[in-house]
């Protein structure tokens, strides 16, 4: 396992416990933290989008199927409709 300074590339021992690099003095703990967080956020967004697309692909047809069944049921019931909130006005 190698541990290098992200700024100057100096090899650091894995037992190196200081926050700053010996050679260049850059902060190892917070080096590039903002960029990394931005990357993380980007990745999270991508993963979310992928997940959403997947859910859509699975649930989309299901919901459409259910809507079709619902429409069929309503058509079958014809005149004597059950009490629903969205009543279609009869002539
Ligand atoms: Zn360094």
> Is 75 a member of any domain?
no
> Is 78 a member of any domain?
no
> Is 86 a member of any domain?
no
The domain of 8 spans 1-31
C-alpha of residue 30 to centroid of ligand 1, in Å = 13
C-alpha of residue 13 to centroid of ligand 1, in Å = 13
pTM as predicted: 0.41
C-alpha of residue 37 to centroid of ligand 1, in Å = 21
The reply to whether 26 and 11 lie within a common domain is yes
> Is 70 a member of any domain?
no
With b for 16 or more beta-carbon neighbours within 10 A and e for fewer, the 40-61 pattern comes to eeeeeeeeeeeeeeeeeeeeee
Would you write out the chain's pLDDT as a tens digit for each of its 91 residues? 568 888 899 998 878 778 889 899 988 888 877 888 889 999 999 999 999 999 999 999 988 899 999 999 999 887 565 565 666 666 6
The reply to whether 25 and 47 lie within a common domain is no
The predicted structure's pLDDT at residue 75: 92
Residues 6+ apart with CB under 8 A from 22: 10, 12
């Amino acid at each position: 396992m190698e541990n290098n300074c992200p700024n100057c590339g100096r090899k650091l021992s894995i037992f190196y416990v200081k926050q700053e690099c010996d050679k260049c003095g850059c902060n190892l703990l917070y080096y590039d933290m903002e960029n990394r967080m931005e990357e993380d956020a980007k990745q999270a967004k991508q993963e979310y989008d992928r997940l959403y697309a997947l859910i859509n692909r699975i649930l989309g047809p299901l919901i459409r199927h259910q809507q079709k069944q619902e429409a069929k049921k309503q058509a079958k019931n014809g005149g004597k409709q059950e009490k629903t909130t969205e009543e279609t006005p009869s002539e």
